Amino acid sequence: MSDETVTLTVNRTGESHEFPVLHGTEGPGTIDISKLYGKTGLFTYDQGFVSTASCNSSITYIDGDEGILRYRGYPIEQLAAKCAYTEVAYLLMYGDLPNSEQHDKFVTDMHRYAMINESLTNFFKGFRYDSHPMAMMVGVMGSLSAFYHDSLDINNPEHREFSAQRMIAKVPTIAAAAYKRNNGEPFVYPRNEYEYCGNFLRMMFSTPCCDFKLDPVAERALNVLFILHADHEQNASTSTVRLAASSGANPFTCISAGIASLWGPAHGGANEAVLDMLHEIGDVKNIPAYIERAKDKDDPFRLMGFGHRVYKNYDPRAKIIREVADEVLERYVGEDTPLFDLARELERIALEDDYFVERKLYPNVDFYSGIIYRALGFPKNMFTPLFAIARTSGWVSHWMEMMDDPSNRIGRPRQLYDGEAERSHVAMQYRK
């Protein structure tokens, strides 16, 4: 703990107050304003949490100016190149990369929990056949709160671990079942001889009428994409999970809330929106017109897959994804190659444009991911569910970290009230 402080002078009263500055392992200092209201009677105002740290965390570090992302201290580039997604999920949850014995046990646990209760097939059937898979995932993940009554004590660390593992293990099964519901195909059960990503691909694409052959290129690409999407510190969905959990809520419902938040187009829904945008642009010759629209403040159009609250440099995940896209598209040459070329040209033109340069708007993780997912055969409405599968390991790790912290308090932001001042009730016959 450093002795650094900041002094705030309230000009109206002339009073000065000191506040400690906290320093983590890395990153900017943080002014501890928890006593601000008590000392000054003032709140802080920071819409969208642009300058506010909402918690302590030792899971993920981002330096947005330098384009750095690390999980538990390991650079994302190394994890993406060398690890299985299950190793990274273990790392996020427990703080260290697993040795082979720990990894084997973790994978066995994943296999043990991968099936979902058979009664949930009825739940899926209750959805309209064309429901968005994210809508089904929000509902089905939340419904798991009605199961496992023997291990739902959130004050018991063992129970917390069971719940966290169950969610990581079951989320691919849930996403694949949502896809099958959309397609009117029978649900495919997980099989233990497959690894996490391979199992998911099999549950998605195998049908009773043809044998499934796992393509190692597809499995590797998915593995990398899942690692890149696994965590990103206090983003909107993770903060949603933390806020929901701060009241002591059931963990499955907290993750369901995270899935709901992820679905928005400004967050995980952007990968779907990027593909829509590329289709709408249609041809390289139309790019300048769309760049102009993105710059026009009277036009709601934005370049989807561009910009990030934290990264003011190239998103390190986008760099890795671009390389994966090269490999996947070489293998699956087809209708998507023009789309990829269009994306690359859009990136090139935007990165030379003053508007994007001045605002430090670079491609983010979602700019190329949709193109890869499509080349692998996923329909557009499965892009955000893929993100949700990967991010579940991050969400549950934050939930575990938070529940293990004795200083955890219910989250309760304040507001700047700008509604009516006090007024008196008027009987209905006299109201305008």
Residues involved in catalysis = 308, 366
Is residue 267 part of the contact set for ligand CMC (CB under 6 A)? yes
Is residue 364 part of the contact set for ligand CMC (CB under 6 A)? yes
Q: Under 8 Å CB-to-CB from 219, ≥6 apart: which residues?
A: 195, 197, 198, 201
Is residue 386 part of the contact set for ligand CMC (CB under 6 A)? no
Phi-psi domain of 233 (left: phi exceeds 0; alpha: psi -120 through 50; beta: other): left
Going residue by residue from 42 to 61, which x/- string records binding to ligand CMC, judged by CB under 6 A? ------x-------------
Among 292, 359, 405, 413, binds ligand CMC (CB under 6 A): 359
Q: Which two tokens stand for residue 334?
A: 């087809």
CA of 307: how far to CAs of 76, 343, 351, 388, in Å? 19, 15, 11, 20
Is residue 331 part of the contact set for ligand CMC (CB under 6 A)? no
Q: Which of 408, 421, 411, 413 is nearest to 43 (CA)?
A: 413
Is residue 238 part of the contact set for ligand CMC (CB under 6 A)? no
Q: How far apart, in whole angstroms, are the C-alpha atoms of residue 380 and residue 320?
A: 21
Q: Which of these segments, 116-124, 130-138, 240-248, 357-365, binds ligand CMC (CB under 6 A)?
A: 357-365
Q: How far is the CB of 294 from ligand CMC (least distance, A)?
A: 4
Is residue 316 part of the contact set for ligand CMC (CB under 6 A)? no
User: Considering beta carbons, is residue 203 or 260 the nearer one to ligand CMC?
Assistant: 260
Is residue 366 part of the contact set for ligand CMC (CB under 6 A)? yes
Q: How far apart, in whole angstroms, are the C-alpha atoms of residue 341 and residue 337?
A: 6
**Any idea what the Cα angle at residue 87 is, between residues 85 and 89, rounded to 5°?**
70
User: Considering beta carbons, is residue 296 or 404 the nearer one to ligand CMC?
Assistant: 296
Among 89, 294, 376, 390, binds ligand CMC (CB under 6 A): 294
The site for ligand CMC, by CB under 6 A, has a size of 20
The three-state (H, E, C) secondary structure of 74-110, written as one string: EEHHHHHHHCCHHHHHHHHHHCCCCCHHHHHHHHHHH
Is residue 225 part of the contact set for ligand CMC (CB under 6 A)? no
Query: Residue 416: helix, strand or coil by DSSP?
Result: coil
Among 20, 198, 305, 385, binds ligand CMC (CB under 6 A): 305
Among 91, 116, 204, 365, binds ligand CMC (CB under 6 A): 365
Q: How far apart, in whole angstroms, are the C-alpha atoms of residue 325 and residue 161?
A: 35
Is residue 304 part of the contact set for ligand CMC (CB under 6 A)? yes
Residues pairing with 16 in the sheet: 9
User: Considering beta carbons, is residue 250 or 393 the nearer one to ligand CMC?
Assistant: 393
For ligand CMC, the binding residues (CB under 6 A) are: 48, 235, 266-268, 270, 294, 302-309, 359, 361, 364-366
